[in-house]
Each structure stands twice: as C-alpha cells, then as structure tokens.
Structure 1
Amino acid sequence: MESLILVILVIMPGVWSGDWRVTFNDQCALKGTSIVIKCKYDYPFGHFVTSVTWSKAWLVSGRHRLFPVSNLQSSPDHFVYAGNKRGDCSLKINDVHDDDSGAYYFSFVTTLNRWRSQTFLQLSVKELTAVVQPSTVTEGDDVKLTCVSGCPTPTTIVWYRDGQAVPNPVFQARREDTGRYYCAVLGQETARSAFVALNVQYAPKKVSLSISPSGDIFKGSSMTLTCSSDANPPVTQSGYSLYKDGHFIGSGQHHNISDVQPSHSGLYHCQAWNNISWRGSDLINSTQVPLDVQYRPVNVSVSMDPPPVVQGSSVNLTCSSAANPAADNYTWYRIDSPSSSSMLQVGSGQVLSLPSVNASHTGLYFCQARNRLGESNSTEVLVAMMKEEHGGMPLPILAGLGVSLFLTLVLVLIFFWKRRKQRIHAEKETMLGFKHNGRGLSSSATEDESNSVYANIHRLPSSPPPVTDITPHSQRSSHREHDAPVSSEDEVTYTAVTQKPRDPSLPRHINNSRSKAGETDDAVIYAIVAKSS
C-alpha cells in the first residue's frame, strides 16, 4: 500500500516542484484556422485539481473583467479544452475570427486552494492578404500571385480563382484568367484571404450580328439588327459599325428598320472595336449574315411579240414581274371591249400563245402573277388585228420601198449639189482668165508674139439687132432708164489652152534676169472676148 501511494505521488505534478505556476506563450492565429494554445500548469504537493477554467479579459467601463470562454457567445465547439487536470492546460479554438483576439487567463481549483495565471496570453488574429501583380493586364502579359500572411508561422499556401484551383502563381494572362482570386492555407481552406480581382483586357471576340425577328423578313415589316461581342473592356455604342455588301451603314449596336423594302436585301456584317488590338488588328469583323426580303409580285408587265398583229399570224404574250420568291403561277384574262367589265380567262403560264389570230382574239389582255405571298395584275395590252388588203404589198416591202425612195432622193440631191459646185468653179476660172488677159495686153509689146496663144470668144446674137435710135440726145438718156433687154443668154465657146513652162536647162540667174528685164519664159495666154452687136 505504501509503495502504491509513493508511485502516485511521483507521477503527480507538483511533487518535484511544489510551486503554483502556469506557463504559456503568446499566439498568432490566421483568421479561419483552428489553433491549439499550448499551456502547462503546476501546483504544490498534496493538492488535487478539481476544475480548470480559461477566461478572456474584456474591457468594461474602463476596467478589464474576466469572462469564462464557456460563457462567451459562440458556437458550442468554438472553444475546446484540450488539456487535463494533471498539468496540461492547452486550449483549442476552432475557426478563429477577429473577436477571438485578446488576453486570456488560465485558472484552476484544487482540493485545498485555487490559482490563476499571474500573466495573460495574448492571442493575435491575422488574415491572409492576396496580391495580384499587375491587377489589370492585356492578354498575353505575365501575372504573378503573392499571398502575405500576418503570422510568422510558416504555412503552405494554395490559390483559387472563382473556386477553381490555380496550379501556378506565375502565368501568362489569357482572357479566361479574368476573375476573383484568393489564397488559402493548405488543409485549412477556410482560412483564406479576401478576394482580389484580375482584369485581363482583350480585343473583341465572337463578334456576331443577329436579325430580329428571326426567320423570313417581309416587305413592309420592321426588323432590328443587333451587334454583339465578347470584349474587355466592353465595346461601346460608337465601337460598333454595320456594313451592307461592304458599304458602311452606320454606327451603334442596334439598327432599326421600320419599313423593310426589297432594296434592304444583301449581306450584312458587324465590325467591333475597343482600342485593344489582336494580332496587329484593331477592328474585328463578324461573319456575314444574308438578309432576303420577301414580297409578292410587283411591276407586272406584258410584252407582245411581234407588236403588229396581222390576221392569220401568231402572237406571243409574255408576262414578267419582280417577286421573292419568284412568281410560280400566271393567269391570263381578256376583256373584249373597254366598256365591258366582264373578264374571260384565256390561259395560264408565263407565255400566252395565239397561233392564228382572227377577229375573235381582239381585246384587252392582262396577266395575273402569283406567289405564296400574294398576287398582282399587269397593265392591259390591246391586241388589235391589222388586216392585209388584197393585192397590196406586205408591210415589210412597203417599208423597204420607202427606204429606197429616201436614199434615191438623197443621191439626187448630192448629184445636183456637185454639179452646181462644178459650175461655180468654172465661172471663177473664166473670170480669172479675163483678168489675166488684161494684164497681158499691157505688157505684150516687148514679148515675142510667137509664144502667145490667143483665143477669140464671140458672143452670138440671140435677138434681132436693135432699131437705130432716132430719139434726140436730150430724150435718149431718159429712154435708157426704161429700156432694158428682155432676155438674152450668152453663148460662150471654150478653147483648151496650154502653157509653156520655163526652160529648166537655163540657170536660175538667167531666168531671174529675164524676169527683171520684163521677159518671161512662160507663155502668156490672152483671151479676147468679143461681143457681137
């Protein structure tokens, strides 16, 4: 029995020391983690611990007061005593938060006394701080993630982006890397930093153009063309441009057309810009979107071949129109007279053939073009029969004769014009001869008459010689003013004249000396016009 008591005394605290003592160190805890505060206590021999208590000091009315941790407003398992009643006074705090920071005291009660630590344990609560460098980057730039801990205790850090693990804290930014980042303690991910954002800017991608309403677009309806893209920073209103068939339409994300017309059909595409380039290009285009405006037949018309309708001939009437989709049904009608309101259906198809026209075919014709959107009528065309008279010539022959007569008339006019021109030319030459003759007579005294050729031109009388005027001289002049020849026509006889050229064998200075002396080698031609009385 005595030996058993000795063994118990040996293993009991205080046996060796016998001092009242509590031993602990200040602690630093990361917010969100769970920590164990290490603590040791001792007491004198002969005492048995009956209860232990951890208390926290709170400042109340300017004084610090102690409140047992078990009485603090917290979850039941927030503070857990991890020691025993034999010298271990460790305390575990789960999910540390900011309110847990402060001064803590440990006290215990024995069978003979009670004791409280003479000093307090200071608990500091810190948190992780995430740093992204730089916080705003352009796609392709380098990014570095750094986690700063306020506690000196080394911990293993892991990174997350929007809840997804980040394998490497240093990377080359992509557009997918945009998001909120935080760091945490490995194994205690609840202990994490506040969020920090990484903004990765990039040029517009996935540029698209949509047309509302979707499906078929009809003439006269309204529609909206909308541009969209994935870009950071987002593309503004002025950053969007709309093009039709390669031609600029306007700026803006939305384009409304209240009255759609066939002219709006074409290929459309958007262009987006946000001042960020991608592979050297600042302007990013969408794919082309076709717009096909559908409408019922319009501008329906009828053509006739051949235009003049001759009895017994064949005539083709062709109906044409503009429509989308194209007209697939044509119906022909005839109105027998303008005053008649009754219509007679005379055929179908785009071409109406009248193989042998007769009087029963005369009337006003029009066609009706139809597609699945509606129908429209053409204007009326008159088919009037032109009869060919017996013994008469066909119209093409008459037309040919008219052309021939016109050409003949033109040729006759040209012939008379040339004859008149020749006669005027001959008269001019005659007048020039008269002048030359006068000059020759004045200088012929010094020339050799053997080199001259004379031509005598006589005017034959065309009327009897006039009666001898016996009127006195005083009255003769007055009679001359009233007497005039009735009519006469000169008869002129033309003679061919040759001109002797200069002697080319003589030197030029001899010819020139002869010219200075009044001589010439050129034969002088004289023409004497004699008017017979």
Structure 2
Amino acid sequence: MASVILVILVIMPGVWSGPWGVTFNSQCAFRGQSVVIQCSYDYPRGQRVTSVTWFKGTYALGRWVLTALSYQGRFEYLGNKLSNCNLRINNLQDTDEGAYFFMFETTSDQWMSRKYLSLSVTELTAAVKPTSVTEGERVSLTCTSACAIQNIVWFRDRQPVTNPNFQASIEDAGSYHCAIRGREAIRSVSVALNVEYGPRKVSLSVSPSRDVVKGSSVTFTCSSDANPAVTEGGYTLYKDTEDTPLASGQNHIISDIQPSHSGLYHCRASNHISSNGITFPKSANLNLDVQYLPENISVSVDPAGRVAEGSSVNLSCSSAANPAADSYTWFRRTGSPGPSSLLQVGSGQVLSLPSMEPSHTGHYLCLARNPLGENSTELLLLMQEKASQALPVLAGVGVTVLVIFLVALVLLFRKKQKHADKQQTMSDSRPGGRGSDSSANTEKPDSLYANIDHFSTPSPSRNSDHSGQAGKVRTASNEYDDPSSWREEVVYSTVTIKPRETRLPHHTDNSLQDQHTQFEKPGEGDNSVIYATVTKHS
C-alpha cells in the first residue's frame, strides 16, 4: 500500500516536479452567468504548498495594483494545495471583467504568476432590422457578442422563431431575443419589432347598451385595432347612410335621445394605412331602438258625431309607443275631474256600446300602458236628441193653411179678372162700338188678349147661325173648364183676322154672318195676330 501511494505522489504535478509556474488561459463569459477559470500551478520537488491566493489586478501609473479575492460570496476557490487552482465566479458582473493573478506559497518560497488571466464579461446583443416596418415588408434578425458564439436560437415573446429573415405580418410584432442553444439562460436583451397596419376589428358600442329610453343620455364609442392607433379625428360616425357623417371623434354623446334617433349606426376608422386594400374600414351596424311610454293617444267614434239613441257605437283608442302599448283601459267620468270620479267601463283597444242610452253620454277616458309607463286622453260622447212629435203635425197644418191661402188668392184674382173682362166685353158689344173708320183698317192689326164669355146656356130660339157658333165656342171651352160651370167662364183663344177688302162695308149684324170673317192659321198670310173677344148673349 505504501508503494502505491508513493507512485501517485510521484506522478502528481508539483510533487518532485520542475520549475515554478502557473498555467491558465484568458476567458470570455456572459454577464449574469457563472464562470470557472481553469488554472494549474507547479513548483520544485520537495516543496509543500502552504497557501494559495487569487488577485484581481488594476493597472495604474505604470504598475499593477493587486487586490486579493475573498472566497466568500460570488468567488469560490475550487482548486487545492497541490496543483489545481481553479476559480469559480458566480453571477458575473461588468466589474468582474479584468486581469487576474494567482500566487502560492511553499515551505521555502512563494510564486506569483508572471502573466495575468484576462476575463471578459459580455452579453448577447440582438438586433432587428428594421425595428419598425409596415405590414408586408422584410425583417432580418442578427445576434452578436464579444465572445465566440455558435448555435444561436431566436425567440419572440418566448416562442421559438424558425427563420431570422421573414416578411412581416401583424403576428410578427413583438419582443425578440437570441440565446445560445443548450444554454438558453444565456440570452440577449429583448428587442421589439413594430409592425404597422391599418385599422382592423372596427367596432361601435353604445352606452347604455340596453333599454335606451327617450330623454336619456346615450354615448356612442368607436374602437379599432390599428398600429399606429387611430387618432381622435380618425373616427367618423354615420347613421343609416354613408353619405353624410353624423359626427367625428371616438365618442359621440346625445344628451336628450328621441325616437327620431332610432336607426342603424356604424363608424369608420382610418390611420392612413391601407389594410387589405381598404383605407377606411367600417364597423358592423348597430341598431339603436329608443323606447318611450305611450304618447299621441287618440280616440275615434264610429259613427262620428252625435249618436242616435238605440244605435250601436264603437270607441277606438290608439297610441304611439315603444314597445307597443300592451293594455288599454276605459273609464267614464262620473263627476268633477279627479281620480275618484273615474269609473272603469271596459278594457281593450275598442269599447263597444251595443245600444246608446242617455246614461252613456259623458266624458270617456282611454288609458294606454306599456312597460315604461302609462298615458291617457279623454273624449266627450254625445247622443242625438229625439225630434218632437208636435213638429210634423204643426208642419202639416202650416202647409195646409198655406195651400188654402194660395188657392183663395188665385180664385179671388180670377174673379176680379173675369169681372174686368165682362165689363170690357159689354163695352165692345154696343152698336157702333167697334167703329168702322176705314183709316183704322189700314193700320196693322195689334195683338190683343180677349175673353170668350159664356153668360148663359144658349137659347134654341136664336137663329141657327148664332146657335151653332155659340155651340162651337162652348165646345172649345169644355176642353179647359168644368162642364158643370158654364156661367161666366173664360176661354182664351188665338184667332187671325184677314180682311177680304181694303174697305170694310157697313153692314148690319146679320151681314156679318154672311160676310164671313176668314180665319187662318198663325203664320199664313198676314202674320199680324189679335185676340178677339166673342160675346155670347142669352
């Protein structure tokens, strides 16, 4: 066993070895990581190491100033007092970068490394070129370091990136960093890639979102996903049509909403970047439904006007409301205005009265109601008054009296006319009363109105010529007069008298019968017409 131990000691460095010396190599390490500095030392045979020390050197004023490291905290000596002088530095900081020296002492001497170990503290540096692009442009990723690095990997928002060169899309925007494969804890600081794009997911909302009631305040809000974000002036609100903007800005407030504001609304957004060829994308339509309690209530009567007693009548009630009125209630006012004077008489939109009675007249109130509230209006229902029974009787008596009065006036007028005609006839029948002045015959006959009077029933003792003539006249009068009344009856007759000679001879009454006064029809020969008076003497 002793021989084995001796062999081991012989082959170990520093044991019966050659000259004094320290061996190490400069190293490069990444900030925040741990690094192990590989080191070995040697000394002549027969020496025994009593102490080992690491120093950090600072060169100033032409000389090195050494500071011994404390093996507490981040520094840890991993070697021994034989030949290994390894040193671990945990959580490397930028201040750890610099020159390091190793010194050891033996029972007879000490030794300081003639050269220093250079420790470089660095990091991975990620670069995205360009850092801001418009959707569709090319992007390149690069990773650099002071240390020699291989097998670099890339991550975007902690997700692996397969290709460091790509055409940017919206999904490519984010934070990028590079790391060493297998040692992913050694990573670079993240670098952001900004991908600009036009508005997407344009939407329009309204507050309150439900039960928009007339008179309340409503706020429209337009939003979108865009890079850069759409500014306040980039939003436009439209109602029903795209031709006329209602307002601009992300928010639009209507403080006193009215039913006329109901309709379809949408908004458009723009940041001056086209997205899929569209510069002003629009939101989906938003339907604004303004609700209000019943208003503009009206009541109609069928039949219109005053209603006859006993007839049927319908009262119809209508209103404008949203939602529509779900109930109608009818009341009749029984006294002075007030809630206590209302008597409910029906329900439904139509109130029917099968038979109108006097008790049905008065003020009727229709009350319309929907979930938001109620409203009402009144109507005065009147009944047509009955016509008085005495009116037809009085009207009949009045008509009768009027007829009798008119008949009496006619008879009186005719009687006076007959009396005047009789006097005229008697005057004309006197001898020589007609005159025979030849000068009168040369004048154009005037038109006269004459009466044919029947004084009495013709006597058979008169000559036949006169009797025949009287009979003819009487026959003519029978066409117009009552046969039972021949006295003093008047017949109007039209005759045309055309003289045979230019000079009228003087004859007696009998010669007039022989002479024959020729009668012609109107329009034949001389068109002068006279009305002759023919008097029949009894």
Q: TM-score, normalised by structure 1?
A: 0.66
Aligned alpha-carbon RMSD (Å):
3.2
For residue 120 of structure 2, give the secondary structure of its aligned residue in structure 1: strand
Aligned equivalent of 2:217: 222
- Alignment partner for residue 297 of structure 1, among 281, 294, 317? 294
- Alignment partner for residue 242 of structure 1, among 234, 237, 240? 237
For residue 210 of structure 1, give the secondary structure of its aligned residue in structure 2: strand
For residue 99 of structure 1, give the secondary structure of its aligned residue in structure 2: helix
Q: CA deviation at 1:92?
A: 3.0
**Counterparts in 2 of 1:276-425, with a 5 A limit?**
276-308=273-305, 309-335=307-333, 342-385=341-384, 387=386
1:40/1:89 contact within 8 Å kept: yes
Question: How far apart, CA to CA, are the structure 2 residues paired with 1:5 and 1:369?
Answer: 116
**Counterparts in 2 of 1:159-178, with a 5 A limit?**
159-178=154-173
1:34/1:96 contact within 8 Å kept: yes
Structure 2 vs 1, CA of residues 172 and 195 (structure 1 numbering), >3 Å: closer, same or farther?
A: same
Q: CA deviation at 1:213?
A: 2.5
2:204/2:221 contact within 8 Å kept: yes
Aligned equivalent of 1:189: 184
For residue 377 of structure 1, give the secondary structure of its aligned residue in structure 2: strand
Q: CA deviation at 1:19?
A: 1.4
Question: How far apart, CA to CA, are the structure 2 residues paired with 1:295 and 1:160?
Answer: 58
Q: Which amino acid aligns with 1:290?
A: N
Question: How far apart, CA to CA, are the structure 2 residues paired with 1:380 and 1:343?
Answer: 13
Question: How far apart, CA to CA, are the structure 2 residues paired with 1:297 and 1:160?
Answer: 64
**Counterparts in 2 of 1:1-400, with a 5 A limit?**
7=7, 10-13=10-13, 18-58=18-58, 64-70=64-70, 76=73, 78-151=74-147, 153-246=148-241, 248-308=245-305, 309-335=307-333, 342-385=341-384, 387=386
1:13/1:45 contact within 8 Å kept: no
Q: Which amino acid aligns with 2:226?
A: A
Q: CA deviation at 1:297?
A: 0.5
Question: How far apart, CA to CA, are the structure 2 residues paired with 1:149 and 1:366?
Answer: 92
For residue 70 of structure 2, give the secondary structure of its aligned residue in structure 1: helix
For residue 360 of structure 1, give the secondary structure of its aligned residue in structure 2: helix
Q: Which amino acid aligns with 1:87?
A: S
Question: How far apart, CA to CA, are the structure 1 residues paired with 2:335 and 2:5?
Answer: 144
* Structure number with bigger Rg: 2
Flag structure 1 segments of 5+ consecutive residues without an equivalent. 394-459, 465-533
Q: Which amino acid aligns with 2:298?
A: S
2:15/2:47 contact within 8 Å kept: no
Aligned equivalent of 1:516: none
- Number of residue pairs matched? 393
2:50/2:81 contact within 8 Å kept: yes
Question: How far apart, CA to CA, are the structure 1 residues paired with 2:384 and 2:82?
Answer: 135
Q: Deviations over 1:105-164 (max 9, x none)?
A: 01111122110011212212222111012211222333221101112x233222222333
Q: Which amino acid aligns with 1:372?
A: P
Structure 2 vs 1, CA of residues 12 and 325 (structure 1 numbering), >3 Å: closer, same or farther?
A: closer
1:338/1:364 contact within 8 Å kept: no
Structure 2 vs 1, CA of residues 3 and 323 (structure 1 numbering), >3 Å: closer, same or farther?
A: closer
Question: How far apart, CA to CA, are the structure 2 residues paired with 1:380 and 1:132?
Answer: 82
Q: Deviations over 1:62-81 (max 9, x none)?
A: 9643222226xxx73x3333
Question: How far apart, CA to CA, are the structure 2 residues paired with 1:275 and 1:462?
Answer: 115
Q: Which amino acid aligns with 1:331?
A: T
Q: Which amino acid aligns with 1:36?
A: V
Q: Deviations over 1:461-488 (max 9, x none)?
A: 7989xxxxxxxxxxxxxxxxxxxxxxxx
2:335/2:341 contact within 8 Å kept: no
Question: How far apart, CA to CA, are the structure 2 residues paired with 1:339 and 1:154?
Answer: 99
Identity of aligned residues (%): 58
Q: CA deviation at 1:243?
A: 1.9
Flag structure 2 segments of 5+ consecutive residues without an equivalent. 393-442, 448-538
